[in-house]
Each structure stands twice: as C-alpha cells, then as structure tokens.
C-alpha cells in the first residue's frame, strides 16, 4: 500500500481547505495567496525530497522567498490598512533570490534565512504594540487574532532557524539529515500558516472594512495635542457607548469606533488603556458580555443573547463570556439567581 509523504499530505489538506474557502467566499486575496503559496511549497518539498524530482530543486528557494512577504502583506492588509502601491517593493525578496540562484548560489541560503527572520521579526514588532494595533479587525474577536498572528511570526522565525540547521547539516554531515529536517519543519510550519490564514477571526479584516476611507486626522496629527485629554475622551466614549449602544454593532472595529468619535485611533486606544488598563477589544466586549448576561438571566437562549449583544460567532461569544464571567453562557443561564 503506497504511503504519501507528510509534506504532500499537508499540501493536499491545504488545497482542500483553500478550495472550500474560495467556494464559500470567506477568504480575502492576500490570505488566499498565502495559503496557495504554502500548499505549493509543501508540494515542492515532497516532490524534490521524496520523489526525486531534482529539476524542481531550483524552484524551491524562490517559491520559499515568496512566503515571508505574502505573510507580511496578509498581516497588514487584514489588520491595519488596505493594500497600496508601495507594497510592490516586497517583491524584491523573491526577485533577489532568483538573481542569487543564477549569479551567486552560495549566498542564497543566508539570504533566505535573513528574509524569514526579518519578516517574522517585523510582524512580532508590530504585535508588540498590543491588540489595539490590529485596527481593522472586529473587536468581538478579542485577543485571538493577536495571538494567531504571533504564531505566524514565530513560525517565520522558526523557519529561518530550521534553515540554519539545514546549512549546518550540509557543513558537518553532507546533508544526511536534510530530507528529515526540511520535511518535518517545512510541513508543520506551512500547515500552521495555512491554518491561521483560514481562521475566521483573521480573515474578517480584509473584507470587513475594504471600502472605508482613511482615518482623519492623519497619523502625523495623531501625536499632537489636538483634542481632549485621555480622561475627557474616555468620558465621551462612555457616554456614547451607553446612550447609542455602539457596542451592539457586530462589525465594530477600532477604526470604525474612532471614526464615530472623530478621533485618531492611537488617541482612542491610549485613552481606553489609561482609564481601564485594558485594550479596546476587551473594553467593548465587556459591554457586550454584560448585555448578554442580562438577557440570559431574563430567559433568552444563548443564540438570541449572542446576536442581541453584538457578537456574531459562537466561538468569540463563548471565549469572551468565559473570560469575563468565569462561566460559559449556558452555565450562566442555568445558574440560580438570588
């Protein structure tokens, strides 16, 4: 009975998941390209290292060089801003890899290591600013998107480290362990990237605010003292949240909330953080959970309470409710009231 190599199995899994996402139209362009790139790279690993297609070996480093820029573009487009013309320069990495392959092959592996480490580090640095740096994503998703993109950054850095191991293996053991190292690490890394790309809380940002205009004032103005101080701004936010129930909008993002208050994203985020020691997502979800808990206590079922409080997926609802109340919505509904 024939046994498929692990990279080929993972490639087929990614292709099936990609096909399902495309048919359901739940995947944006950049996440789709990232997922397709992962499937292609995993298939190339299988064909070269397990089936002896040596003619495809030169393609592998060039296709691998496409993954870090694709991961970066998927990250910024889904979490922070629309794509722009200046993003074209990210094609320099794959083009440089193709040039090195033809003109200076010995420099190709170090360049790939630097590429993976650089993009993984860049995503990590953006994430170090906290959950509120993911301004395009819906607030109902909580901290999960931040954690998933942190996993992507870790995978990219891990891929760079595994390339170092491959290089060491060639130097010390003439590449005796390369198929195992490449097969296991590449397959696992690519599967993780693909799984993250398919997560609904990650993909919602690319489609959810695609038509929105840039925030005003500009980023340069955001750092200036152009409005009320943090306490005044937070008081205004509290009043609007209570009077207009802004938190009931299931598509509410930090960008959209800042736009409703006509303030820069950074100023709003800083005001909430200074006043509550929480990020904006947790602040908004506290309102939602309080509304849901009230509805559940009044006899509403879990689904009714979820939609009526501003959540649109059960996973987000259950996770945030448990975080805040220490119980699942069902447990809260069944608990005796004094």
Picking from 207, 228, 246, the residue at the C-terminal end of a domain is: 207
Distance between CA 138 and CA 11 in Å, rounded? Answer: 30
In a domain, 213, yes or no: no
The mean pLDDT value for 39-46 works out to 86
Radius of gyration of the chain from its Cα atoms, rounded to whole angstroms? 23
Strand partners, 138: 253
Same domain, 10 and 77: yes
Same domain, 199 and 225: no
CB of 285 within 8 A of CB of 142? yes
In a domain, 59, yes or no: yes
Whether the predicted pLDDT of 328 surpasses 50:
yes
In a domain, 294, yes or no: yes
Q: How many CB atoms within 10 Å of residue 206?
A: 22
Same domain, 158 and 232: no
Same domain, 183 and 277: no
In a domain, 212, yes or no: no
Distance between CA 105 and CA 232 in Å, rounded? Answer: 60
pLDDT digits (tens, 9 = 90+) for 90-124: 999 999 999 998 899 888 888 998 999 999 999 99
Q: Would you state the pLDDT for residue 136?
A: 82
The mean pLDDT value for 281-309 works out to 93
Same domain, 260 and 112: no
Torsion of CA 108, 111, 112, 116, to 10 degrees: 180
Q: Report the domain count for the chain.
A: 2
CATH number at residue 322: 1.10.10.60
In a domain, 215, yes or no: no
pTM passes above 0.85:
no
Q: Report CA-CA distances (Å) from 177 to 44, 184, 227.
A: 18, 11, 61
In a domain, 301, yes or no: yes
In a domain, 115, yes or no: yes
Distance between CA 170 and CA 191 in Å, rounded? Answer: 25
- Position 337 confidence tier, pLDDT thresholds 50, 70, 90: low
pLDDT digits (tens, 9 = 90+) for 202-253: 666 555 444 444 444 434 344 444 345 788 899 999 999 999 999 999 889 8
Map residue 251 onto helix, strand or coil. Answer: coil
pLDDT digits (tens, 9 = 90+) for 2-23: 677 777 888 888 888 888 878 8
Same domain, 179 and 273: no
Same domain, 27 and 166: yes
Same domain, 243 and 114: no
Same domain, 66 and 142: yes
Domain carrying residue 224: 220-334
Picking from 153, 182, 207, the residue at the C-terminal end of a domain is: 207
Same domain, 285 and 200: no
Helix, strand and coil percent figures for the chain, each rounded to 5:
75, 0, 25
Q: Would you state the pLDDT for residue 12?
A: 87
Same domain, 259 and 191: no
The encoded tokens of residue 179 equal 């198929």
Same domain, 191 and 259: no
CB of 138 within 8 A of CB of 257? no
- Position 175 confidence tier, pLDDT thresholds 50, 70, 90: low
Instruction: State the average pLDDT for the chain.
Output: 82
Q: Report CA-CA distances (Å) from 171 to 105, 116, 167, 175, 176.
A: 15, 21, 6, 7, 10
The encoded tokens of residue 29 equal 């362009």
Picking from 207, 236, 270, the residue at the C-terminal end of a domain is: 207
In a domain, 1, yes or no: no
241-260 burial code (b ≥16 CB/10 A, e <16) = beeeebbbbbebbbbbbbbe
The encoded tokens of residue 103 equal 């003109």
- Position 280 confidence tier, pLDDT thresholds 50, 70, 90: very high
């Amino acid at each position: 009975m024939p046994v498929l190599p692990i990279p080929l199995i993972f490639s087929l899994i990614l292709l099936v998941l990609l096909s399902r996402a495309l048919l359901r139209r739940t995947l944006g362009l950049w996440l789709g390209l990232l997922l397709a790139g992962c499937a292609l790279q995993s298939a190339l690993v299988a064909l070269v290292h397990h089936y002896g297609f040596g003619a495809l070996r030169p393609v592998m480093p060039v296709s691998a060089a496409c993954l870090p820029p694709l991961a970066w573009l998927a990250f910024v487009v889904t979490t922070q801003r629309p794509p722009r013309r200046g993003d074209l320069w990210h094609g320099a990495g794959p083009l440089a890899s193709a040039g090195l392959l033809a003109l200076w092959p010995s420099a190709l592996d170090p360049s790939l290591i630097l590429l993976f480490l650089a993009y993984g580090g860049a995503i990590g640095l953006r994430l170090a600013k906290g959950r509120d740096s993911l301004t395009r994503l819906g607030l109902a998703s909580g901290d999960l998107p931040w954690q998933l993109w942190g996993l992507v950054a870790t995978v990219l850095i891990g891929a760079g480290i595994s390339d170092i191991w491959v290089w060491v293996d060639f130097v010390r053991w003439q590449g005796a362990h390369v198929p195992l190292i490449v097969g296991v690490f590449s397959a696992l890394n690519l599967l993780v990237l693909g799984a993250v790309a398919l997560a609904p809380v990650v993909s919602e940002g690319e489609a959810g605010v695609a038509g929105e205009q840039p925030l005003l004032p500009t980023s340069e103005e955001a750092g200036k003292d152009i409005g009320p101080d943090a306490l005044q701004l937070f008081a205004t936010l509290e009043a609007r949240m209570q009077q207009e129930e802004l938190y009931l909008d299931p598509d509410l993002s930090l960008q959209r909330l800042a736009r409703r208050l006509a303030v820069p994203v950074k100023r709003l985020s800083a005001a909430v953080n200074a006043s509550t020691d929480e990020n904006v997502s947790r602040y908004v979800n506290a309102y939602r959970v309080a509304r849901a808990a009230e509805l559940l206590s009044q006899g509403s079922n879990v689904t009714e309470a979820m939609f009526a409080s501003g959540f649109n997926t059960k996973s987000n609802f259950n996770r945030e409710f448990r975080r805040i109340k220490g119980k699942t919505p069902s447990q809260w509904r069944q608990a005796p009231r004094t």
